[in-house]
Structure 1
Amino acid sequence: SATNLSCTTKLTNLFLLVRGRFSVVKRCDHQGTKRTVAVKQVNKKLMRRDRVTQELNLLQRLQHPHIVSLIDTYETPSSYALVLEMADQGRLLDYIVSWGNLTEEKVACYLRNVLEALHYLHNCRIVHLDVKPENLLVAHTASGQPTVKLIDFGDAVQLNSAHYVHPLLGSPEFASPELVLGEPVSLTSDLWSLGVVTYVLLSGASPFLDESAEETCLNICRLDFSFPRDYFQGVSQAARDFVCLLLRTDPGRRPPAGLCLQEPWLQAGLGDGRARAEGCLDTSRLISFIDRRKHQTDARPIGGPLLPHQCDHSRQKQEKLDTPQFVVQC
């Protein structure tokens, strides 16, 4: 378990990695373990102690190869600090762009890693509620293979009741319809977000993003997305079907993470993965996607949730989309 430490004697060579809504993350050397670690410093003026304690309590219980592990904690006059395992290859999208040669097989491998993390969390009745590209990091294993790790449990909660409503903060780009509508979230809220991430990985485009946050929210609730030919040229039907499987308006109709792992398109090896396209995916749009996200602030609240009547035809459209013809059309 995490214990207090003196940051002046134990941590050196601090280097800013990323600045978030309520915190900054720095890379530094942990003298006690001789490891390079990531330190998440949460601003006390912006975040209540009980919120930080909630994240800390969750992280202390979690141990999984695809979840960044907590090493230590400490407190300064201005911040609460979490000392975390360092994912040495940085964010997943940056890694993909820098290495190039992205294939559906690689996308499926990255998604399997995330689904294994979600399967573990959901078995503990924990929902992450902030699955997005920035919260997926890459580390190299001893053999040099990339492995994806899920980070940032600031929004995560243990679902002890069926009526937890989560506030929508910042961009709704990866938020599920129930979150946008101010309805109770479920474990499969994470699967919707992963569906959006999958769409982004395959195309470099965002399925629901519009001119304003409100329009984006409406697109989400109305399930208003498509697979433009220009963006999805060379992407297999099986990959598109997997996106459609996760992007279902009704949380109860989304498959749980464990079932997703059994999907043929996600299977490792040649046998079950033959439906995957063989060629390289176009990653040029990912560069502008990354740039836009870096300059986008997630600090402001969206405002009140959309009212159900504003999205009244979303369920109707969902029924239409869930017919077998949708698998062919999308």
Structure 2
Amino acid sequence: MAFTCKRPAASLDGHASRPGAMCRKRRRVIGTTYDYDQESCLSRGKFGAVVKARCRATGQLVAIKSLHDPADPREVLREARFLEACGGHPHIVGFCGVTLDYVTDELCLVMDYVEGKSLKVLLSERSGGLPEATVCTFMWQLLTAAKKMHGCHIVHCDINPANILVGGEGAGRGFVKICDLGVAMSMSEAPPYEEEAGMGEYRAPEMLLGKEDYDALVDTWSLG
């Protein structure tokens, strides 16, 4: 199924929405969703959806995230900025760029596609849990990812099994990648921070108590 075009994509900051056009903070817009063929829906949540798509020009598989209406472009660019800052880390989902939805004229995130499933799904399929060696490997990878984010002054705020992708399992070389920085915050920002961040038992006590000045330790709690 292709992303279909009903009307021309809107321009951003006076620039035409075409490959190479620029948006706020000089972030590059890499074409529109018309440049991709949608293959399947990977996930759908409270704030948005992620689809698996293939670039028509290169054949590259990517994951495209769009926010539910009404989408705030500032939120998309904020997450893009965080992903870009963490770029290159093997255990944080890779960032490809920003693109325009050809139908809604709204910004979407284009990320690396990870062949696999979420840790939440994997654990639901394993009644006996994961082998100790696998747990140790995954934890080391997650801790290095958290160290990278915190070194970039970014706090994820919502680390939980649903936001951890597991790949390479079939080849016996499993790895994990943290994804979805939609509610992440910058340590350089002044509180109050996001009140609805985090999920259930993975939320740190200071978040549950409604404190407005939490820090990177909330990610440590989620991982621990």
Q: Normalised by the size of structure 1, how large is the TM-score?
A: 0.53
Which stretches in structure 1 are left out of the alignment for 5+ residues? Answer: 196-330
Quick check: which one's helix share is greater?
1
Offset at 1:173? 2.7
Task: Find the aligned partners of 1:163 and 1:170 in 2 and give their Cα distance.
Answer: 16
In the alignment, is residue 24 of structure 1 matched against residue 53 of structure 2?
A: no
- Alpha carbon RMSD of aligned pairs, Å? 2.5
Superposed CA deviations along residues 236-294 of structure 1, whole A, max 9, x for unmatched, are xxxxxxxxxxxxxxxxxxxxxxxxxxxxxxxxxxxxxxxxxxxxxxxxxxxxxxxxxxx
Quick check: which one's strand share is greater?
2
Task: Find the aligned partners of 2:97 and 2:58 in 1 and give their Cα distance.
Answer: 11
Task: Report what 2:72 is aligned to.
Answer: 48
Spell out the pairing of 1:38-77 with structure 2 (5 A cutoff). Answer: 38-45=63-70, 47-63=71-87, 64-76=89-101, 77=104
Q: Residue 112 of structure 1: which of 128, 140, 151 is its match? A: 140
Offset at 1:39? 1.0
Spell out the pairing of 1:1-330 with structure 2 (5 A cutoff). Answer: 2-8=28-34, 10-45=35-70, 47-63=71-87, 64-76=89-101, 77=104, 79-96=106-123, 98=125, 102-140=130-168, 145-160=173-188, 163-168=191-196, 171-183=199-211, 184-195=213-224
Task: Find the aligned partners of 1:72 and 1:165 in 2 and give their Cα distance.
Answer: 26
Offset at 1:55? 0.8
Q: Normalised by the size of structure 2, how large is the TM-score?
A: 0.77
Which stretches in structure 2 are left out of the alignment for 5+ residues? Answer: 1-26
8 Å CA contact 1:114–1:150 kept in 2: the answer is yes
Q: Secondary structure at the match of 2:116?
A: coil
Q: Secondary structure at the match of 2:29?
A: coil
Taking structure 1 as reference, are residues 7 and 174 closer, same or farther at Cα in structure 2, changes over 3 Å only? same
After superposing on structure 2, the runs of 4+ consecutive aligned residues of structure 1 that deviate more than 4 Å are 96-101
* Between 115-124 and 158-167, the greater mean CA deviation after superposition: 158-167
1:94 aligned partner, one-letter code:
V
Superposed CA deviations along residues 7-41 of structure 1, whole A, max 9, x for unmatched, are 22x21143111111111111111223322111111
8 Å CA contact 2:164–2:176 kept in 1: the answer is yes
Taking structure 1 as reference, are residues 17 and 175 closer, same or farther at Cα in structure 2, changes over 3 Å only? same
- Give 1 or 2 for the bigger CA radius of gyration: 1
Number of aligned positions between the proteins: 193
Identity across the alignment (%): 28
